[in-house]
Structure 1
């Protein structure tokens, strides 16, 4: 045999051996488990064309099915209660009721024994299946069924009606118009109702047979803005997916006005104008785009309307109105907050700009509602007047240069807006007033001195709150005195006549008397507001060092007796990976690693720490809350990492629940400051939001977002063990500082 023939023979032999080896692997029978019990030997499985076939009668016995063999038809009939299934030997079809489905491999006779396709049959009778990587096959009943998907009345939430909660998650998709919710160990009921699909959304449910889960896929014609943290929550045995407010309608009404309607309250829009062609731009925060009819009635003001989801992070809906040459539309402030109404208006003339010490004044020939705000670096007061133009003699600049202000400038911000900018030495409060006089004109004054706006009391479950509000930021100091107990708030740099005729609140709760007056110390005068108390335990200052809304919270019970048990809540876990970084790092891993290390540090400092999970397991939101509420804990810290649509977004933020400011705001501020000191990431601030775990826990509670996994640089930091240790140290030190502060109660 020559060399070429020998080589060819060896090559053929090699391929034959590989093929034989592959067939032997495929022919290996799997281990089969039914509710955790191995039943492989009973079912005597065979593998044909990658399909598991098993002894029909043995499977029927395990699943409690009736089996009938029809010899004349070579047919197997399986039934239980109202469910019937029929197969014929060597036919690739299964008939269940009035429906028929094709299988990869149908029923077979092997050694005179009927064999049936395992996966197709058990799933037809409502069981779930799961294939492991090693080929093992698991059969089990679903732990929950999904009966219906439906909208809330305002179409802000989708409810999934289920038997009970099983592990769930929002799975990431590459398509911003698609949202996928996965529910583990779940099956779809036979009479499932889809009450979600409409002109804007389509719902599709897919049963993932390999991994025994339901995939509920929601698609839209437009991007679907949602959050992975807080986007899906629990309501009893239901799952609830919450969406941003959504556009419902936009139309030109018969009464000659443009109406934009949403399915819930909208935030105030930002409005500006562009030329060539002339356009009015209306940017509405936190509003989702939806399919609406833009074929508006012909009118003399608006030629065309265009809509877009201008931004997904943050969410901004943009409405572009192409205007006729002489059209002016002004916003109507008097309508319901789920509507924006724009009515035809005239362009207003602004005249008689003037300055007197502490006051800017101007005149308009029509009523307007100017937008007034302050800006830092340098400190400025800005007055925007929409649909206005300046009179011919209106000055471009007024030089002032006194102790308050350097100058006032005027300009056209755009074709429709006059802008006044007062350059200040220091931002202070302001107060706008307007008066219509006999000549039909409107006289506007903007007073720059800081003024006392309101003194009032509020009550919450464990705290009574003292409020002193001003028109601008003030420098203040809070003091506690005894004999009798009283809280004094000293405010610097405020005119004494500002408080002479100011109305004080009626005493209630722990407050026996409220009084005000002038206090002098070291040659400097202060305005002092005193709250005399009938009892005292402790207090917290919940406003910033310089603030326009001073808030002091009085404890109604002895904080020294407050539990120092700490609950740390590593977000997500198990089935729910949370956010996933570009290289695959998961939020659940980061949150657990940081929480475990923080717990170790705190326990070494003699604190008792409870973890809602200490390994990679799924814990429902309700169980997390129950763990905290049943533990007599003194505080709750939920640990997460963030994600955004834009991979450039980064930083740290801390959340407290909106209704929990008294007991959680101070904790949130301390935790945010501690993380910033240790980690050096961008400060995204302390915020309020209705996350389930901080809304429903009964002790001070915050949710930390440590970095953004969607940001490649921060993903690498979050992967680094030294960064995780530093994050854990910041959490532990923040908690220590909070506990020290609430137990201090210093007096003067």
Structure 2
């Protein structure tokens, strides 16, 4: 079978001579593969750096050469047809004097960029459009600065153009590697390449002629986040203390739905208080790096065994069931923590929570108590406690429990108690 390529401009000249069978190729006949055509060429007006686009009717292959004296960038597009005469596109007066476009041979369009001065540039396919070729000067990494903040800080990277960074954390080395393709180090940073910077917090290196890598040490017990500004010319890596990183903590706001729990003389419902405190605690634990799951996040009823099943399926490190207490004697008040008597780790957890919360609330403490009757501490497959914040039946304690200030003290105490629990060596 004969295989011939033609440009779109020749289609009608040969159409009448084709024995068309409706398939991609005629059996024993002629197969036609039409070239793609040049649709448009010009400058990206919204680009922060010189950027040229070449748009075709389909994906293309290309080859790039550079010639000196005069300086020219040559780009050949294969299997592409120019449907009109050769043309010249005026330059943008910053880098390119003009762009000359011509049909170099029947299968190739040649673009000649007359440039004012040699610059490192990148030619590649647009990530969002495979039929669009982009030609742009290479982005320079202009600044890399570390801003300490407590026991963490921020690394700020600034480029002359977009920084298409690819972050990768290596748990073996405890370092974050940020690969920035189509970028080179600016003159001010060339001397810092490969050397320690800012007390060995980060390093810079050029992996090759068009890729920069940033290496940032992430201290143990810390977490990080990578963000870009709106035009993606600035990257911020925030490193913060995260002593609960990697810990899955299950919070169980007691009662819910038809089960209101205890109701104070003024009408405070325990189910609502439990959920408010649990949600406040969730925010604080997540800020410390923990992954937090709630058995309920709204006003719904859950069977006790359903709550345990949720915790066991999640495989949490600990389970805290948040409650408020009630008693017929309205003078009774204070904090209680319950665990199963046969679970020694639950007792250790209860002790750590009690010490941290009492140090912040100065509450009356009724003690760490043990019972085999409670479902959650008995059935949970991880250390588990029932945390009784206080008595809503006591007028003074009810007023405290309703205030954000007191809820903050309790949740701060629980957070610090969990840190102490997870960082206490076994047997101590």
Give TM-score scaled by structure 1 length.
Answer: 0.24
Give TM-score scaled by structure 2 length.
Answer: 0.41
